[in-house]
Amino acid sequence: MNITIISESSNGSLHSVTAQLVGAASSLGGSITVICPGGIGSSDAANISGVTKVISVEGDCFENYDCSAWSESLSPLAEGDLLLSSSSAIGRELISSIAASKGIPVVQDVTSLTGGLLATRSIYSGKAIEEVSISPPCAISLRANSFESAGEGGSGEVSTVNVSQDVAVAVKQALAKASERLDVSEADIIISGGRGMGEPANFSHLNEVADLLGAAVGASRAAVDTWEEIPHSMQVGQTGKTVTPNLYIAVGISGAIQHLAGMRSSKFILAINKDPEAPIFGVADYGVVSTWEEALPVLKEQLAEMLSN
């Protein structure tokens, strides 16, 4: 099978999810071409084990994100039976657009993929799991942290293609900088707060724990709806993000059905809530009945001590 991967970048370098896409492709067998939009990270991509070829696509249109312009530039280069991308916001948009222009179907946010093309994904934000069979040629986006990364030490051949594509979307002004924090959809560890945190300023305590762990900070829908300081991009659950980290720490979150749907597939769940009857304890591997005011300082102290050893 000939597989083409659209690489993912962040802050001007190759995003680590790209090696996971290569890992998933390698398990299917065949040749692997990685396309790097804007040429970002092409030498790092060539260094991923299993990569046959890297196409560094360069042009002015990659200065800002314009879905149609990027898709039209990349589409003619995206050959093969299977097209893969990450299921980030841009990954999903690009692969949908490229698939449509090629007249092939797309299946998004897949968490396991095997030969013959059987794919698994969660639907209803994790309330059910769907297995589908897909006939190539087709396009599939993969969820971050669901596939083993391919190692380093590859020697893919890099070629550069220059494109001159008209852009339709012009960025007029930046309104707010993206959070420097890791996004919940790509974190191994997430600590989320609910309305039980009392007020948005108290999320600073979650940030401190997150900094110790290299974790992302999330929030329940109740917290996002109540406080405008807590942006929707932090929301975990249905109408927010579905996440599957190794560790999910829920603080002051009671566990509404929409929230549970979005985080119950996490490998381990630690819940801290003062209400012993809170539904969140029904899915928690470790439940601590306590107020956050009492629990978080001890948690911080213990983690700092453990991680300094």
Tokens representing 28 are: 């299917």
CA distance 141 to 172: 30
CB of 116 to another protein, least distance (A): 11
Site for another protein in 82-101 (CB under 8 A): 89-90, 92-94, 96-101
CA distance 231 to 114: 36
CB of 298 to another protein, least distance (A): 4
Site for another protein in 54-73 (CB under 8 A): 64-68, 71
Print burial letters for 282-301: b (CB count within 10 Å at least 16), e (below 16). Answer: ebbeebbeeebeebbeebee
CB of 185 to another protein, least distance (A): 11
Determine, following the binding rule CB under 8 A, whether residue 239 of this chain makes contact with another protein: yes
Among 57, 104, 184, 197, binds another protein (CB under 8 A): 104
Determine, following the binding rule CB under 8 A, whether residue 227 of this chain makes contact with another protein: no
3-class secondary structure, 112: strand
CB atoms within 10 A of CB 176: 6
> Looking at beta carbons only, is 70 or 154 nearer to another protein?
70
Stretch that binds another protein, among 14-22, 103-111, 152-160, 194-202 (CB under 8 A): 103-111
Beta strands 157-162; 247-251: pairing state = unpaired
Among 1, 158, 161, 289, binds another protein (CB under 8 A): 289
Identity at 113, one-letter amino acid code:
L
93 φ/ψ angles, rounded to the nearest 5 degrees: -65, -50
CA distance 120 to 112: 5
Determine, following the binding rule CB under 8 A, whether residue 116 of this chain makes contact with another protein: no
Determine, following the binding rule CB under 8 A, whether residue 111 of this chain makes contact with another protein: no
Stretch that binds another protein, among 13-21, 27-35, 53-61, 279-287 (CB under 8 A): 279-287
How many of the chain's residues bind another protein (CB under 8 A)?
92
Among 63, 132, 148, 199, binds another protein (CB under 8 A): 132
Among 7, 73, 86, 125, binds another protein (CB under 8 A): 125
Strand partners, 273: 289
Terminus-to-terminus CA distance in the chain, angstroms? 47
Question: What x/- string results for residues 137 through 176 when contact with another protein is judged by CB under 8 A?
Answer: -x-----------------------------xxxxxxxxx
CB of 118 to another protein, least distance (A): 7
DSSP state of 76: G
> Looking at beta carbons only, is 121 or 195 nearer to another protein?
121
3-class secondary structure, 220: coil
Among 80, 161, 213, 227, binds another protein (CB under 8 A): 213
Q: Would you say 262 and 253 are in contact if contact means Cβ atoms under 8 Å apart?
A: no
